[in-house]
């Protein structure tokens, strides 16, 4: 039993949007907070766009807190977005210092800002004086190498940051290689705010190995592990699982599909969104490639419905 552990659902641009979070939270237990994929380019200072407001519709999902995330290096933009979030009833804003994509990082945004402690210090000084909701940060060990976060420890420690989530890789690594537990072990004890670990906790076994290495560490953010095994948070917390997991997963996927049809007003682009999610969920089955083969060719709602029926009828779960 690990009921005392806090588990956060990591943000995935293009996947864990409002519709996904809402339906997921109705079907699965164990999540303490959902982080939204990052918001960016908040130029219009009069109001947030209807698209952004729709994404920020719910401040909680089935009693779990939703925490908006911003990707920006502009203190005014962050302050403006924080004020909007506060007005909408959110209690915390998260700052993305982890995005590794070169088109983001090359502009000193996301993990591309990590090699510049002075800039981070100046931005934090501006925003922390002006916002009145909790402010957390999601970062990596660095952009080029994992010494960069070490240089940031005194900066982060000098502000009232509510939590620091560390994805234990560098930006340059993208998602390759292993998460670096040694670097994380060196840095975490030097930070004065609560630290959250993120990276590669994809199964109960991986969690067990992590807890053995980091005894009493109780804050985790999980990403791809939940996308592939939506029961993972409940498993880690030792909560009861449905007896028929396959039937439960099938109902979840049907509900997600109908919610997307509504949210996308039956536009066929929603099939792309579902297929992107399936590229992770396929690993819940014994033969992931077979699952993706069935879905790949679907170009209509009818074909998608038939493929999903066939998957849940004929393919065995691996989880």
Task: Report if residue 224 touches ligand FMN, rule: CB under 6 A.
Answer: yes
The sign of the torsion formed by the CA atoms of 232, 234, 240, 245 equals negative
In total, the chain counts a number of residues equal to: 319
**Least Å distance between CB 71 and ligand FMN?**
7
**Least Å distance between CB 224 and ligand FMN?**
3
Task: Report if residue 115 touches ligand FMN, rule: CB under 6 A.
Answer: no
- CB nearer to ligand FMN: give 142 or 225: 225
Task: Report if residue 278 touches ligand FMN, rule: CB under 6 A.
Answer: no
Task: Report if residue 277 touches ligand FMN, rule: CB under 6 A.
Answer: no
The three-state secondary structure class of 75 is helix
**Least Å distance between CB 143 and ligand FMN?**
14
User: Interacting stretch for ligand FMN, rule CB under 6 A, among 44-52, 55-63, 196-204, 265-273?
Assistant: 196-204
Distance from C-alpha of 315 to C-alpha of 302, rounded to nearest angstrom: 19
Task: Report if residue 80 touches ligand FMN, rule: CB under 6 A.
Answer: no
Task: Report if residue 30 touches ligand FMN, rule: CB under 6 A.
Answer: no
Task: Report if residue 197 touches ligand FMN, rule: CB under 6 A.
Answer: no
Strands 64-70 and 60-61: antiparallel
Task: Report if residue 69 touches ligand FMN, rule: CB under 6 A.
Answer: yes
Q: Which of 7, 8, 12, 311 contacts ligand FMN by CB under 6 A? A: 12
What angle, 0 to 180 degrees and rounded to 10, lies between the N-to-C axes of helices 18-27 and 245-263?
A: 150
CB 111 within 8 A of CB 140: yes
- CB nearer to ligand FMN: give 105 or 315: 105
The three-state secondary structure class of 170 is strand
Task: Report if residue 171 touches ligand FMN, rule: CB under 6 A.
Answer: no
Task: Report if residue 48 touches ligand FMN, rule: CB under 6 A.
Answer: no
User: Interacting stretch for ligand FMN, rule CB under 6 A, among 39-47, 50-58, 223-231, 247-255?
Assistant: 223-231
- CB nearer to ligand FMN: give 223 or 288: 223
Distance from C-alpha of 244 to C-alpha of 250, rounded to nearest angstrom: 10
250 phi and psi angles, rounded to 5 deg: -60, -45
DSSP 99-159: ---HHHHTTT-GGGGTT-HHHHHHHHHHHHHH--SEEEEEEEEESSSTHHHHHHHHHHHTS
Other C-beta atoms closer than 10 Å to the C-beta of 47 total: 9
Binding site for ligand FMN (CB under 6 A): 10-13, 37-38, 69, 96, 98, 138, 167, 175, 198-201, 222-225
């Amino acid at each position: 039993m690990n009921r005392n552990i806090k588990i956060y659902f990591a943000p995935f641009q293009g996947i864990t949007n409002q519709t996904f979070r809402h339906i997921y939270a109705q079907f699965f237990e164990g999540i303490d907070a959902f982080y939204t994929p990052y918001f960016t380019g908040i130029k219009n200072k009069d109001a947030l766009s209807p698209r952004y407001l729709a994404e920020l519709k719910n401040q909680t999902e089935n009693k779990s807190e939703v925490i908006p995330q911003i990707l920006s290096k502009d203190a005014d933009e962050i302050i403006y977005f924080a004020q909007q979030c506060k007005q909408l009833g959110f209690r915390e804003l998260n700052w993305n210092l982890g995005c590794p994509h070169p088109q983001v990082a090359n502009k000193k945004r996301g993990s591309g800002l990590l090699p510049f402690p002075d800039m981070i210090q100046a931005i934090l000084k501006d925003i922390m004086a002006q916002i009145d909701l909790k402010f957390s940060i999601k970062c990596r060990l660095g952009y080029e190498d994992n010494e960069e976060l070490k240089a940031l420890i005194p900066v982060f420690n000098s502000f009232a940051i509510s939590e620091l989530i560390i994805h234990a890789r560098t930006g340059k690594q993208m998602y390759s290689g292993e998460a670096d537990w040694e670097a994380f072990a060196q840095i975490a004890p030097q930070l004065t705010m609560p630290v959250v670990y993120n990276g590669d906790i994809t199964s109960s076994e991986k969690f067990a190995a992590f807890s053995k290495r980091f005894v009493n560490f109780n804050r985790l953010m999980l990403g791809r592990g939940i996308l592939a095994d939506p029961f993972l948070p409940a498993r880690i917390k030792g909560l009861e699982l449905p007896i028929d997991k396959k039937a439960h997963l099938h109902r979840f996927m049907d509900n997600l599909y109908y919610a997307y049809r509504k949210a996308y007003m039956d536009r066929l682009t929603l099939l792309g969104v579902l297929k992107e999610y399936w590229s992770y969920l396929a690993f819940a089955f014994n033969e992931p490639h077979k699952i993706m083969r069935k879905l790949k060719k679907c170009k209509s709602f009818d074909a998608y419905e038939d493929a999903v029926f066939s998957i849940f009828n004929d393919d065995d779960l691996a989880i």
